[in-house]
Structure 1
Amino acid sequence: MGNEVVAIKALIQERHLSYTGFCQEWEKIAAGFDNRLAGSHPGHAQFYRWLKGDLRSGKPRTDSCRVLEAMFPGWSVEELFAPHSRTEDPREGSGEHRRTPSEEGRHLDLAGVYMSRPQFLSEVPLYEMIENASIVRASGLSLNLLTQHYADAQIRRLVESGTRFQLLFLDPDSEAMKVREQEEGYETGFLAGLTEINLKIMKERVRSLLTPEARDRVKIGVSAETIRFNIILIDDSTGVIRPYLPQSRGVDSPTLLTERRKHGGELFHTFEQVFASLWDRATPL
């Protein structure tokens, strides 16, 4: 297995396609079939699941099969998602297939549900999503998913390359922080101290070390409002949402992955509005 990848991954690598490039090519081909297929390209999470050969609901839906086979002539969908030796030429594909509709909901933007943060991180390449992002908006308590899972230098590199960050923390000195500490069973000051550390990291080890022209791409604020969700929005398309539950640490909360679709599905829009509302009332730092 060490010498094998999924065929579609080999083909994408052979063409040097990024996620953005793949979507652009997809949209051109989809428009040639039917204008109603505009915006039908896979979301970040679905794209990276395809690269792993992960078809949780069976084959992609019929329209997606048509687009994929047009993108990779001579390859059936079965062959695209089959193991492929790294030593073979990925352009040598052939065969027929039967198309069946996917069980995947067509009009929903809920792309996945994970029972904990570790499960989410093991199955979804958040790093790769952020690596290609233009803007990352995040609100929550301490924002550990960003501040503790990414090296300072890595975040600075992204910012210097053009990625913008809007980061909203729970105010360590607020009553809402004390309430959350009680809910999680911690002594007063425990979560506040962790949040202070993360705030210091982002202000002193990231933003202050950026070049002057890049520094304005990192916006930091604090909110004193009751905390209900941890929200990470990547560009205008992908959302990672975790509720704050009584008696449960954030790491143990279910994680929802939502991806904005052109038609149907309002989850992403809902949490985008929540973030915007919190940001407007926040105190900038």
Structure 2
Amino acid sequence: MGEEVLTIKTLIQQRHLSYAGFCQEWEKVAKGIDRRLSGSHPGHAQFYRWLKGDLRSGKPRTDSCRVLEIMFPGWTVDELFAPYREKASDDQQQPPGQGNRHLDLTGVYMSRSQLLSEVPLYEMIETASLVRTSGLSLNLFIQHYPDAQIRRLIESGTRFQLLFLDPGSDAMKVREREEGYDIRFLAGLTEINLRIAQERVRSLLEADKRDRVEIGVSNETLRFNITLIDDTTGVIQPYLPQARGVDSPTFLVERRAHGGELFHTYEQIFTSLWDRATPL
């Protein structure tokens, strides 16, 4: 989907590295090469230019190339700054029907909080080009991520597709009964989050950037909370009876070029819901 993503950006996302985390790894490698390279990591703006492939000469200077090739073993600098093509692993070289068909399931957690304690949300989306998320109230983004930070990401080029459960829908009433709440309890929370997304995020953006935030509502039975980050990472939770979304088991899915089907499955579910949603 969309423009091809550079290998360096994909590998950074797979490691869940923020800019600060990238610099920490850079320092360890650089000092091992030559202590004079300490502090040679790219600046914040330069880092994001690298992820977009915005380099005047096509690659960083020589010392930076040495550091990068050690940070990302098995990849040349030319490959790092080219569109991502996953290299075949032993599992991927097996004949069809053999090996692990679910290689893209990379983490299972007992709750969303447990996942976020190990993989903070900001590290997952800091370098994202597209974030797609569907669920009930989308508290993961609306209540736990500062409005100003979301706007900063959008202004830097990140696009969001936010799909809420319609507060006035029959599906909302069903979910309130499943969680044991009075009618309109979850609907009221969702209405608050919708207003935040519309009034405190989208409406405060410059006019020419507001289309980077698409908001929709769905009137379909909730089965999963789905967050897809670019075409590489998914955070998936089932909606269980008598359990809040935050308390459900949480699955981390990282797309593989071959051998994994889970990311594709949940991407299809999100796309189907989004296509039938009512835009706001």
Distance 1:122 1:165 in 2: 23
Q: Which structure 2 residues correspond to residues 33-112 of structure 1 after superposition, within 5 A?
A: 38-40=85-87, 108-112=103-107
Distance 1:117 1:279 in 2: 23
Alpha carbons 1:40, 1:261 under 8 Å: kept? no
| Paired amino acid for 1:39 | E
Instruction: Find out whether 1:202 has 2:220 as its counterpart.
Output: no
Number of the residue aligned with 1:181? 176
| Structure 1 spans left out of the alignment, 5+ residues | 42-60, 64-104
Alpha carbons 1:27, 1:40 under 8 Å: kept? no
Sort the Cα spacing of 1:246 and 1:132 in 2 relative to 1 into closer, same or farther, 3 A: same
Q: Which deviations, in whole Å up to 9, do the C-alpha atoms of 1:52-96 show, x marking residues without a partner?
A: xxxxxxxxx999xxxxxxxxxxxxxxxxxxxxxxxxxxxxxxxxx
Sort the Cα spacing of 1:9 and 1:225 in 2 relative to 1 into closer, same or farther, 3 A: farther
Number of the residue aligned with 1:10? 28
Instruction: Find out whether 1:153 has 2:148 as its counterpart.
Output: yes
Instruction: Count residues with an aligned counterpart.
Output: 218
Partner of 1:216: helix, strand, or coil? Answer: helix
Distance 1:261 1:26 in 2: 18
Partner of 2:236: helix, strand, or coil? Answer: strand
Partner of 1:239: helix, strand, or coil? Answer: strand
Distance 1:208 1:265 in 2: 39
| Structure 2 spans left out of the alignment, 5+ residues | 1-22, 31-38, 54-67, 92-99
Sort the Cα spacing of 1:31 and 1:221 in 2 relative to 1 into closer, same or farther, 3 A: same
Distance 1:272 1:241 in 2: 11
Number of the residue aligned with 2:234? 239
Number of the residue aligned with 2:278? 283
| Paired amino acid for 2:116 | L
Instruction: Find out whether 1:191 has 2:186 as its counterpart.
Output: yes
Distance 2:77 2:260 in 1: 20
Distance 1:258 1:7 in 2: 24
Q: Which deviates the most, 258-267 or 6-15?
A: 6-15
| Paired amino acid for 1:10 | K
Q: 2:224 aligns with which of 215, 221, 229?
A: 229
Alpha carbons 1:27, 1:38 under 8 Å: kept? no
TM-score by length of 2: 0.70
Partner of 2:76: helix, strand, or coil? Answer: helix
Alpha carbons 1:243, 1:254 under 8 Å: kept? yes
Alpha carbons 1:178, 1:189 under 8 Å: kept? yes
Q: CA deviation at 1:40?
A: 4.2
Question: What root-mean-square deviation, in Å, do the aligned CA atoms of Structure 1 and Structure 2 show?
Answer: 3.2
Sort the Cα spacing of 1:117 and 1:25 in 2 relative to 1 into closer, same or farther, 3 A: closer
Q: Which structure 2 residues correspond to residues 239-278 of structure 1 after superposition, within 5 A?
A: 239-278=234-273
Q: 2:76 aligns with which of 10, 16, 29?
A: 29
| Paired amino acid for 1:11 | V
Partner of 2:200: helix, strand, or coil? Answer: helix
Q: Which deviations, in whole Å up to 9, do the C-alpha atoms of 1:89-142 show, x marking residues without a partner?
A: xxxxxxxxxxxxxxxx69610010000011011011221121110000000000
Number of the residue aligned with 1:48? none
Q: 1:128 aligns with which of 87, 105, 123?
A: 123
Distance 1:234 1:108 in 2: 18
Partner of 2:203: helix, strand, or coil? Answer: helix
Q: 1:171 aligns with which of 166, 174, 184?
A: 166
Distance 1:130 1:273 in 2: 21
Distance 1:274 1:62 in 2: 30
Distance 1:39 1:252 in 2: 34
Distance 2:104 2:217 in 1: 29
Sort the Cα spacing of 1:231 and 1:158 in 2 relative to 1 into closer, same or farther, 3 A: same
Q: CA deviation at 1:29?
A: 3.1
Distance 1:280 1:130 in 2: 23
| Paired amino acid for 1:240 | V
Q: Which deviations, in whole Å up to 9, do the C-alpha atoms of 1:165-207 show, x marking residues without a partner?
A: 0000000000100000000000000000000000000000100
